[in-house]
Amino acid sequence: MSEKRRPATPWPPVETEAPRFHPEAPGPGTELAMHYAECFGCGDVDNGLHMRSTVGDGGVVYSKFPVTRAHQGAPGLAHGGLLACAFDEALGSAVGNLLRRPAVTGKLETDFLRPVPVGTTLFIAARVDGVAGRKIYASADGHLDSADGPVALRARGLFVQVGLEHFTNHGDPDALSKFTQQPRRREDWDINP
């Protein structure tokens, strides 16, 4: 299959500032730990996505998703919703680790360009494209079986910065101590947009 094209829409969709990476953001070559042991994307969860991420040069975060039989939709092929989940994780990891601003997914769009067979590994490259106040725009490409393999998916996400109470009020009161990766303390986050 040749390189796939889809209609281009402006991205980011609003005027943005260049992302300001946190001074203590992990540097190139850093292998990122899971952010929460029970996370379906990166945690130690049965039949989870078991994604692993590494910081690259130039504000790119590389993630790998090994696609197994547990992730099927059609026989032998990855389920589209789980592929979107992998991009949510990869984009969220880029936002969370590079900016250190607590944020949640507001919108996620995914272009499915090629089927992703069971047994392949999806190599995802994610970057933060721009910031407009609390709105953080990020995008990613997913390559089949190697970092420069054919592009199977592209995704764009809007992440919205939230206060840390988003997690403790709506989720688990102990959320901050359950995030297994630093930063865990309020003073470690860049919480001013």
Ligand X SMILES: CCCCCCCC/C=C\CCCCCCCC(=O)SCCNC(=O)CCNC(=O)[C@H](O)C(C)(C)COP(=O)(O)OP(=O)(O)OC[C@H]1O[C@@H](n2cnc3c(N)ncnc32)[C@H](O)[C@@H]1OP(=O)(O)O
Binding site for ligand X (CB under 6 A): 35, 41, 88-89, 92-93, 96-97, 102, 104-107, 133-135, 158, 160, 162, 179, 181
Q: Which is nearer to ligand X, 20 or 115 (CB)?
A: 20
Q: Which is nearer to ligand X, 104 or 191 (CB)?
A: 104
Q: Which is nearer to ligand X, 69 or 134 (CB)?
A: 134
Give the list of residues 6+ apart from residue 79 with CB closer than 8 angstroms, or none: 71, 72, 73
Paired with 160 in beta bridges are 104, 135
Least distance to ligand X, CB of residue 85, Å = 8
Tell me the C-alpha to C-alpha distance, in Å, between residue 6 and each of 9, 37, 91, 104, 110: 9, 36, 20, 27, 11
Least distance to ligand X, CB of residue 158, Å = 6
CA dihedral for 115, 116, 117, 123, sign (positive or negative): positive
Least distance to ligand X, CB of residue 38, Å = 11
Q: Which is nearer to ligand X, 88 or 141 (CB)?
A: 88
- What is the phi-psi region of residue 145: left when phi exceeds 0, alpha when psi lies from -120 to 50, beta otherwise? left
Least distance to ligand X, CB of residue 2, Å = 32
Q: Tell me the C-alpha distance between 85 and 83, whole Å.
A: 5
